[in-house]
Structures are given as structure tokens and as C-alpha cells.
Amino acid sequence: MRTRHFAQLLGLSALWGASFLFIRIASPALGPQVLAGTRVVLAALTLAIIMRALRHDWPHGHWRQMWWLGALTVAAPFLLFAWAALYLPSGYSALLNTTAVLFGTLASAWFKEDTLTLRKLLGCVCGFAGVGLIVRLGPVQATPETVAAALACVLAAASYGVSAPLMKRATQRVQPLAIAAGIHLTAMVMLLPGAAWTWPQAQFTPGALLAVLVMGIVTSGLAYWLHLRILRDVSPVAAMSPTFMIPVFGVTWGHLVLGEALSPGIFAGGALVLLATALVTGFNPLRRWLAEAPKP
């Protein structure tokens, strides 16, 4: 992976880590359906304006593909994470989101976009063990609601992971901007009925409105476009690997801004999840240094 791509993915990790903080702020006020629906409308409008400014064509002839990708990568995860935020701290959701890489690794092997090795399988085991520690030993009591919310986060992450190789294939046929706009437009059609149904119960506080505005324009619209541009040039697993950096930002922002508690379970589970990243992606920051070190 080029240094430029890694730096861009690291920047995306910072943005998406902050998005879990914004979800935690906005979901209790707006409600999960209004939050997800408003977020996707703002993203679709942002991308449509950019499409028009750059004179890009919409993905005509690929709407069936956009529909499935919109459901897997936008509608389902946005709604599931918004609901989970009613019961889980933002750091929890960010950590559970890292399982997307594990699901993405398995899906990429299934679709022949990558190979599955013993090392990667061991990484998957470590990742799920880390998730178990986070849920069981974290600062949140394991109630039926929190367990269901954790499962919702894992399901959202699985949706991201399974769609990664499908999205990679889409970038070979359609421009990244057109894909980003298309999937948000189809997701908007899916989410708007639920948002309209629960609209009267939403409380449009200044904090919630600011949070959803940033999520819609920046962490959804612009960030998805950038991510798809990177995905076009790297493997699906490589494109998803910095997902494991998101918890660093998610836990940090949640602790500093919302005062969310930390615990040994968070650190132990997080360490296992980070180990899973190294095993799944083969990432070793010392490899280049060792290769260039003088031989005795």
C-alpha cells in the first residue's frame, strides 16, 4: 500500500472514529430512524451537488447493484449503529465496528478477491475473542439491551465487511463518485419512510443538528467518496484495515467529550482486536525497518 493511500485511510479513521461520538450525541435526541434518514439525505445532496459541479454521470444501468450496495453499506449500518447508540458508549460501537475487517477478509476470500490463510483465520479468532471481552468486561453492564446493541454493531460491521469485495468490483466498472452518490440515493429511498414515521417524536436540539450535519456532509458524503477512490487502487482487505484505528479515535473522543468510562475489558479486548488486525492484514510496521537494517 502506498504511503499516500495509508495516510488517506488514517484520516478516514479519524473522521469515522468521530462519527461514533456524533451518533451517540444525536441518536437519543432524534431517534435512530430520523438520524439515519437525515444523515443519508444530507450525504446524497452533497454528492449530487458535486456530481453536477464535476459533470459526472449517474450510474445508469447499474441501479440494481447500487440498490444492494446501498442497503449493505449505508442503510443497514447507519440504522443499526444509530439504534445501538441508545444503549452503548461510542467507544464500544467503534471497537465492535472493527469486526468489519474480519468479515471482509472472509468475504474477500469467498469472492476470490483475496486468499484465506491460517494466519488470517487466527486473526479472526482473536478479533471475535476481543469483542467478547469488550462486551463482557467493559464498563457497561451486560443487560439484554446492551447485548442486543452489541450484536447490532457486529451485524452492521458484517454488512460493511461482506460488501467490501462487491464494492471493489463496482469500482472497476463505475466511477467512485457515481457509486457514492448512487448508494446514498438508494439508501435514502429505504430510510425515508421510517424517518417520516418517527419524525414527530424527534427533538431537534442544536447539538443533535450539528452532529448530523457533520455526519451527513463530511463523514458520509465526502468520506465515502474518498474511500471508494482508494478502494479502486488497493485490495478490499487493505482498504478496510485502518478500520482497526477507528476505536483509538472513537474511545478517545467518547472519553474526552462525553466522559465515557474506560475499563480493563476495553483495553484487553482492544489489544486482541488490534492483534487481529496485524494477523488478518499482515501489517507489520517494523518489516521495512528490519529489511533495511544492516546485516551482521
pLDDT digit string, tens, across residues 250-261: 666 566 666 666
d(CA 22, CA 276): 27
How large is the average pLDDT for residues 44-56? Answer: 94
CB 156 within 8 A of CB 243: no
CB 191 within 8 A of CB 20: no
pLDDT-derived band at 292, boundaries 50, 70, 90: very low
pLDDT-derived band at 295, boundaries 50, 70, 90: very low
Instruction: Please say whether the dihedral angle defined by the alpha carbons of residues 134, 135, 136 and 139, taken in this order, is positive or negative.
Output: positive
Give the pLDDT confidence score for residue 90 in this predicted structure: 77
| Amino acid symbol at 109 | A
d(CA 16, CA 11): 9
Q: What is the mean pLDDT of the chain?
A: 80
pLDDT digit string, tens, across residues 183-224: 999 999 999 999 999 999 999 999 999 999 999 999 888 888
Ranges of H-type helices in 140-175: 144-171
d(CA 274, CA 280): 10
How large is the average pLDDT for residues 218-232? Answer: 83
Alpha carbon 3 to chain centroid distance? 21
Spell 85-123 as b/e; 16+ CB within 10 A means b. Answer: bebbbbbbbbbbbbbbbbbbbbbbbeeebbeeeeebbeb
How large is the average pLDDT for residues 215-234? Answer: 83
Predicted TM-score (pTM) of the model is: 0.79
